[in-house]
Amino acid sequence: MNSRITEQLRNMELQKKIVSAAEAASWIEDGMTLGLSGFTRAGDAKAVPMALVDKAKDGPFKVNVYTGASLGSDIDKLMAEAGIIHKRLPFQADSSMRRKINEQELLFTDQHLSHVAEMVRSEVLNPIDFAIIEAVAITEEGEIIPSTSVGNSTIFLEKANSVIIELNLAQPAALEGMHDIYEPGEQGKRLPIALTSVDGHIGSTGMKVDLEKIKGIVLTNDLDSPSTIVPPDEDTATMANHLIEFLREEIRAGRLTNQLAPLQSGIGSVANAVLHGLLDSEFEELEVYSEVLQDAVFDLLDSGKVRFASGCSITLSQEKMKTVFPKLDQYKDQLVLRPQEISNHPEVIRRLGLISINTALEADIYGNVNSTHVCGTKMMNGIGGSGDFARNSRLAIFVTKSVAKNGDISSIVPFVSHVDHTEHDVDVLVTEQGYADLRGLAPVERARLIIENCMHPLYKEQMTAYFEEALARGGQTPHVLEKAFSWHLSYAETGTMLQSEPASLRK
């Protein structure tokens, strides 16, 4: 056994359990439920799921796959295409899997990320037959050190009948010591989660597991799939500026200081770009309390803008991995990775008073937000942690470009075709047109502000006409119900939500 292996696999008994990925996959049977590590492409179990896909060539079987969030390495894609998934939860972000979900070839339960651990712990979901967990090390005592994400691994290890560990020798060894593993225990018997600051540590650096349950250790040697975010563009830079302007107003009003409040930012290019925009701001000594730590967080750490970042995963572009991973130990006092139940816990989010920034797929004039469903029916990725954060933050901010598909889709519609965040939970809406601060406003006030500040000029007249017609009918939240989805229907029929060219734009 080479020294790199014995350095990382320090428990002597477990050294005897090294098996091939194919052998580990052979233990997995039709009808089983698997709990996989992995959160937004980071720290996912790679080899065993891949071997499981191979195994499908020998005959059909189906398993339930629970994870932290989305997986990398095309695992979601390959599993979906192999037809081996019966039910997937709580989040995915792969185009093939998305297609299979929408073709109803597999079941997808779209769930708040902080709730999965509660449901596993209380045995509401199917019992987990195998936890398959990536680790960067196993200690002498047999504690499992997670790699670039923690996700739901802690609870999967605790509740699974059997465990397979993928010991990844390619992940930076410096990850060891960066985790803060805390298990809150059963509802009704638990204590307060003692975290009162972003940089607090309340747990252990490794995950506990009954060593008897570990059936095999698989050695792997591949990095995570890099993130697929695109760089900031003109629109996202403008959105970042609007957001910064809003935050300045909060400082002027005495509601925030120059240090703001701990920041959360959802996954994806837009949220990353908006966070990136803070690089050029006057804000200082910022803190991040988020789920995914993307490229922008490391730029902000490097520039000194951010003093500390707490997350559940590190999900970087290829380029950023190359610069960050070799010097990861330099971030040791500035980074912590927590289980998603803690990174997304309402108790901590409300206590710390986060500023949360998440991406909307569409919003309506009353401030309801759709994060998940294209035209109300087709799943995109899932709600992820956006509900955990928006529901409990000091400031729930949603960002979206005001139009998509070259203007054929307005991201602001009369009535969202699916609701993931209700009017009660959306504080501020930001587009490249401007921002609308909806706090404390009644619905008709919200509508006027969103139309005025956030809508693209292409659609303003069309929406004003809808709103005026609705207003004439009265009500707390005026609607013309028979036309509420007319924009979506128009898009489906004609390829554009634009019902006629606005008079103001006509030559």
Q: How many CB atoms lie within 10 A of CB 235?
A: 16
Asked if 194 is part of the footprint of a copy of itself (rule: CB under 8 A), the reply reads yes
Beta bridge partners of 336: 310
Residue written as tokens 């000091």? 394
353 binds a copy of itself (CB under 8 A): yes
**CB of residue 131 vs a copy of itself: minimum separation in angstroms?**
18
Q: How many residues bind a copy of itself (CB under 8 A)?
A: 84
Among positions 216-245, residues that touch a copy of itself (CB under 8 A) are: none
HSE-up of residue 22 (Cα within 13 Å, Cβ side): 4
- 20, 96, 102, 464: residue in contact with a copy of itself (rule CB under 8 A): 102
Tell me which H or E stretch contains 22.
helix 21-26
Q: Which of residues 360-379 bind a copy of itself (CB under 8 A)?
A: 368, 373, 375-379
Rounded to a whole number of angstroms, the minimum distance from the CB of residue 453 to a copy of itself is 18
Evaluate whether 397 touches 266 at the Cβ level (below 8 Å): no
Q: Is residue 418 a contact residue for a copy of itself (CB under 8 A)?
A: yes
Interface with a copy of itself in residues 49-68 (CB under 8 A): none
Closest distance between a copy of itself and the C-beta of residue 476, in Å? 4
Q: Residues 111-150: x/- map of binding to a copy of itself (CB under 8 A)?
A: xx--x--xx--xxxxx------------------------
Residues 479-498 as x/- pattern, contact with a copy of itself by CB under 8 A: x-xx-xx--xx--x------
Instruction: Map residues 251-280 to x or -, x wherever contact with a copy of itself holds by CB under 8 A.
Output: --xxx-----xx------------------
Answer for which of 420, 451, 463, 498 binds a copy of itself (CB under 8 A) is 420
Interacting residue with a copy of itself among 4, 327, 332, 350 (CB under 8 A): 350
Q: Is 475 in the site for a copy of itself (CB under 8 A)?
A: yes
291 counts as catalytic: yes
Q: Kind and range of the H or E element at 324?
A: helix 318-324
Structure tokens at 34: 């698997």
Contact call for residue 424 and a copy of itself (CB under 8 A):
yes
Question: What does the alpha-carbon distance between residue 301 and residue 285 come to, in Å, rounded to a whole number?
Answer: 10
DSSP β-bridge partners for residue 431: 434
- 414: nearest Cα among 385, 378, 384, 376: 376
Q: Which of 373, 447, 375, 364 is nearest to 398 (CA)?
A: 364
Task: Give the separation between CA 23 and CA 4, rounded to whole angstroms.
Answer: 23
Nearer to a copy of itself, 108 or 331 (CB): 108
DSSP, collapsed to helix, strand or coil, labels residue 395 as: strand
Told to check if 410 binds a copy of itself by CB under 8 A, we report: no
* Tokens encoding 15: 């050294």
Task: State the Cα–Cα distance between residues 293 and 306, nearest whole angstrom.
Answer: 12
Binder among 406, 476, 500, 504 for a copy of itself (CB under 8 A): 476
Q: Does residue 229 contact residue 317 with C-beta atoms inside 8 Å?
A: yes
Look-up of token digits 């500390």:
308
Check residue 338 for interaction with a copy of itself (CB under 8 A): no
Q: Which of 2, 3, 187, 500 binds a copy of itself (CB under 8 A)?
A: 187
CB of 387 to a copy of itself, least distance (A): 6
Closest approach of a copy of itself to the CB of residue 381, in Å: 11
Q: Least distance in Å: CB of 276 to a copy of itself? A: 24
> Residue 427 Cβ, how far from a copy of itself at the closest point, in Å?
9
Q: Which stretch binds a copy of itself (CB under 8 A): 9-17, 225-233, 347-355, 399-407?
A: 347-355
Part in contact with a copy of itself (CB under 8 A); list of ranges 68-76, 165-173, 184-192, 321-329:
184-192
Q: Which of 177, 471, 499, 502 is close enough to bind a copy of itself by CB under 8 A?
A: 471
Least distance between a copy of itself and beta carbon 128 (Å): 13
Can you tell me the distance from the alpha carbon of 138 to that of 107, in angstroms, rounded to the nearest whole number?
34
DSSP state of 334: T
Residues with Cβ within 8 Å of residue 502, at least 6 apart in sequence: 457, 458, 459, 460, 461, 462
Residue 393, amino acid:
S
- Using alpha carbons, select from 451, 426, 442 the residue that is nearest to residue 367: 426
* CA-wise closest residue to 48 among 144, 173, 206, 168: 168
Among residues 60 and 474, whose Cβ is nearest to a copy of itself? 474
* Between 59 and 440, CB nearer to a copy of itself: 440
Are 443 and 471 spatial neighbours (Cβ–Cβ below 8 Å)? Answer: no
Query: Choosing from 291, 341, 362, 432, which is the catalytic residue?
Result: 291
Phi, psi of 349 (to 5 degrees): -60, -45
Give the catalytic positions in this structure.
Answer: 291
